[in-house]
């Protein structure tokens, strides 16, 4: 446990069990729940997709989430270093650190598009603060989205601002930065979402939304649909890049890891479904198509705000909170690389701003995909037809990097580490709960991921 915390010498930790749960739930709950879930479910036809997503969550992503926390708890270091330590504990000669490094690359790639979407939320917050949305027409709202996406310099500005905010929070020590941010932003987010859902139920077409999300529809189950559902399950929990592992390394010994996992997964699922039930009623009562893509949340929610009294205020609060949800996730995405740089002697501040700047540079790929490269499909020749650079980055991370890491976590925890060492680190009695999770992480999680890839390649 040699000191990563510089002067104090002790490895840093969150101040309490509840702080750990809130901050880690903050990592899970993010743009993926509100923006991502609704747009991916919308594009994939609703019901059947949601069912596969739930199965993927229960049998693949959530067990892997617990494994990631466990490796963090056992390794108590940045992901590459934690992997090396845990691999050594198990006398494994596999270069486990490589999985950690792949995750670190993944964090920066996620941040590169996360910053652009979150930047749009910040910008919409400003529009609302200036009194926007109230009394606007539908055309004005779709026009605002189109106008934003046509202005690369403007998108870059807001993405950079978002990353600067993220870097400031991560610069502080974890109890002052990460922990305070989560404690303020998470409860507020939940309250607002609840309010919006109730409102959507009163004004929008709730019955059609429920049918869309949970009803049975005729649909073709393609390998790609499965991949998208699993990718979304990983992304929404934030599993597979080492952010959860880094938070796991800051978790106190008093945290009951399985119980904490249940709480966090439940909260994450609740937010995604609530967001669906807040957004789809308005999609169906407006003219916007459910399959509108990444802009969905920026076209439908503002429609509520045009009609309600004090709509500009509600809009402001909503976009601020969308930005909050994004920030509690982006700080967890910046933390693993900063932890690794700290091990190399860097200050938190220098590490945070350097990695944030790198993410902003890479964000140009997403920005250009929304603007001038809208119809440019870089890897078309390789069979990725109709996919922009943004599509390739988002799907490449969600549907490839995250599941591959999840596979590695499952193998390390289920097969390489001894059963007693895993049980002791949880810590958990060898009861039904343990047996169930252990069987899932050993067999179901890795086999499901392997089958998915085989199917995606040859299917
Ligand atoms: N879980 C976050 C979301 O749903 C995104 C995220 C991905 C966070 C990977 C951490 C790590 O928006």
pLDDT digits (tens, 9 = 90+) for 231-248: 999 999 999 999 999 999
Is the bond into 427 cis (omega within 30 degrees of 0)?
A: yes
Which of 388, 362, 384 is closest to 373 using CA atoms? 388
Cα-to-centroid distance, 104 and ligand 1 (Å): 13
CB-facing half-sphere around the CA of 165: CA atoms within 13 A: 18
pLDDT band for 438, please (50, 70, 90 cuts).
very high
**pLDDT digits over 277-289, tens only?**
888 888 888 777 8
Give nearest CA residue, ligand 1 atom 10: 238
In whole angstroms, give the CA distance from residue 281 to residue 213: 11
Which of 92, 41, 165, 106 is closest to 404 using CA atoms? 106
pLDDT of residue 454: 87
Highest mean pLDDT among 133-137, 244-248, 398-402: 244-248
Cα-to-centroid distance, 310 and ligand 1 (Å): 32
Cα-to-centroid distance, 247 and ligand 1 (Å): 13
Atom of ligand 1 nearest to the CA of 30: 12
**What is the best residue among 34, 324, 333, 393 to mutate for testing ligand 1's pocket, by most ligand atoms within 8 Å of CB?**
333
Mean pLDDT of 191-218: 85
pLDDT of residue 39: 85
pLDDT band for 9, please (50, 70, 90 cuts).
low
DSSP H stretches of helix in 308-347? 311-343
pLDDT of residue 140: 92
Predicted confidence (pLDDT) at residue 6 exceeds the cutoff of 80? no
Predicted confidence (pLDDT) at residue 428 exceeds the cutoff of 90? no
Q: And the tokens for 87?
A: 């691999």
Domain boundaries, the chain: 17-458
Global pTM value: 0.93
Cα-to-centroid distance, 7 and ligand 1 (Å): 31
Predicted confidence (pLDDT) at residue 411 exceeds the cutoff of 60? yes
pLDDT of residue 48: 87
pLDDT of residue 3: 39
pLDDT of residue 192: 86
Mean pLDDT of 402-427: 95
pLDDT of residue 383: 82
Superfamily of domain 17-458: Amino acid/polyamine transporter I (1.20.1740.10)
pLDDT of residue 1: 40
Show the ligand 1 pocket: residues with CB < 6 angstroms: 27-28, 30-33, 110, 235-236, 238, 241, 243, 329, 332-333
DSSP H or E segment with residue 160? helix 152-171
pLDDT of residue 8: 53
The alpha carbon torsion through 402, 4, 162, 320 (nearest 10 deg) reads 90
Q: And the tokens for 211?
A: 């049918």
Mean pLDDT of 201-214: 88
Say which residues have a Cβ less than 8 Å from residue 345's Cβ, sequence separation at least 6: none
CB count in 10 Å sphere of residue 288? 20
In whole angstroms, give the CA distance from residue 277 to residue 44: 16
Mean pLDDT of 290-309: 79
Predicted confidence (pLDDT) at residue 382 exceeds the cutoff of 50? yes
Distances (CA, A) of 307 to 133, 205, 414: 9, 15, 53
pLDDT band for 313, please (50, 70, 90 cuts).
confident
pLDDT of residue 303: 79
Mean pLDDT of 374-391: 87
Phi, psi of 252, rounded to the nearest 5 degrees: -70, 165
With beta carbons less than 8 A apart as the criterion, state whether 108 and 358 touch.
yes
With beta carbons less than 8 A apart as the criterion, state whether 4 and 342 touch.
yes
**What is the best residue among 26, 30, 193 to mutate for testing ligand 1's pocket, by most ligand atoms within 8 Å of CB?**
30
Phi, psi of 372, rounded to the nearest 5 degrees: -65, -20
pLDDT of residue 4: 44
CB-facing half-sphere around the CA of 292: CA atoms within 13 A: 21
Predicted confidence (pLDDT) at residue 2 exceeds the cutoff of 50? no
Distances (CA, A) of 1 to 9, 34, 49, 78, 245: 9, 38, 44, 12, 16
In whole angstroms, give the CA distance from residue 238 to residue 329: 8
In whole angstroms, give the CA distance from residue 314 to residue 275: 16
């Amino acid at each position: 446990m040699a000191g990563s915390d510089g002067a104090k010498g002790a490895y840093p930790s969150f101040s309490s069990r509840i702080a750990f749960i809130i901050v880690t739930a903050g990592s899970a709950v993010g743009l993926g729940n509100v923006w991502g879930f609704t747009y991916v479910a919308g594009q994939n036809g609703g019901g059947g997709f949601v069912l596969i997503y739930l199965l993927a969550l229960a049998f693949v992503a959530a067990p892997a989430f617990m494994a990631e926390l466990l490796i963090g708890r056992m390794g108590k270091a940045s992901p590459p270093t934690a992997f090396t330590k845990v691999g050594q504990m198990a006398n494994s000669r596999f270069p486990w650190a490589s999985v950690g490094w792949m995750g670190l690359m993944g964090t920066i790639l996620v941040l590169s598009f996360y910053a652009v979407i979150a930047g749009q939320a910040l910008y919409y917050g400003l529009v609302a603060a200036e009194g926007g949305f109230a009394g606007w027409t539908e055309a004005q709202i779709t026009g605002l989205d189109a106008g934003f996406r046509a202005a690369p310099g403007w998108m870059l500005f807001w993405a950079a601002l978002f990353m600067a905010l993220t870097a400031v929070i991560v610069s502080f020590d974890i109890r002052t930065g990460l922990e305070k941010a989560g404690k303020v932003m998470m409860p507020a987010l939940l309250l607002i979402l609840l309010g919006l859902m109730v409102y959507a139920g009163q004004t929008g077409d709730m019955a059609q939304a429920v049918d869309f999300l949970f009803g049975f529809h005729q649909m073709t189950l393609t390998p790609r649909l499965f991949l998208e559902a699993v990718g979304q399950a990983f992304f929404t929990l934030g599993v597979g890049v080492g952010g959860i592992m880094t938070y796991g390394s800051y978790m106190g010994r008093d945290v009951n890891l399985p119980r904490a996992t249940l709480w966090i997964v439940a909260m994450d699922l609740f937010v995604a479904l609530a967001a669906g039930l807040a957004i789809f009623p308005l999609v169906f009562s407006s003219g916007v198509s459910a399959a509108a893509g990444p802009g969905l949340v920026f076209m439908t929610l503002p429609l509520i705000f045009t009609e309600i009294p004090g709509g500009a205020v509600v809009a402001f609060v909503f976009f601020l909170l969308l930005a909050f949800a994004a920030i509690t996730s982006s700080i967890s995405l910046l933390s693993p690389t900063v932890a690794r740089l700290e091990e190399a002697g860097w200050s938190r501040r220098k590490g945070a701003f350097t990695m944030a700047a790198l993410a902003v540079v890479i964000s140009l790929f997403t920005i250009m995909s929304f603007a001038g490269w809208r119809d440019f499909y870089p890897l078309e020749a390789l069979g990725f037809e109709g996919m922009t650079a943004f599509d390739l980055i988002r799907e490449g991370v969600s549907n490839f990097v995250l599941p591959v890491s999840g596979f590695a976590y499952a193998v390390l925890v289920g097969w390489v580490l001894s059963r007693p060492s895993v049980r002791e680190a949880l810590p958990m009695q060898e009861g039904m709960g343990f047996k169930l999770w252990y069987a899932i992480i050993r067999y179901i999680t890795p086999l499901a991921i392997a089958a998915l890839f085989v199917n995606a390649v040859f299917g």
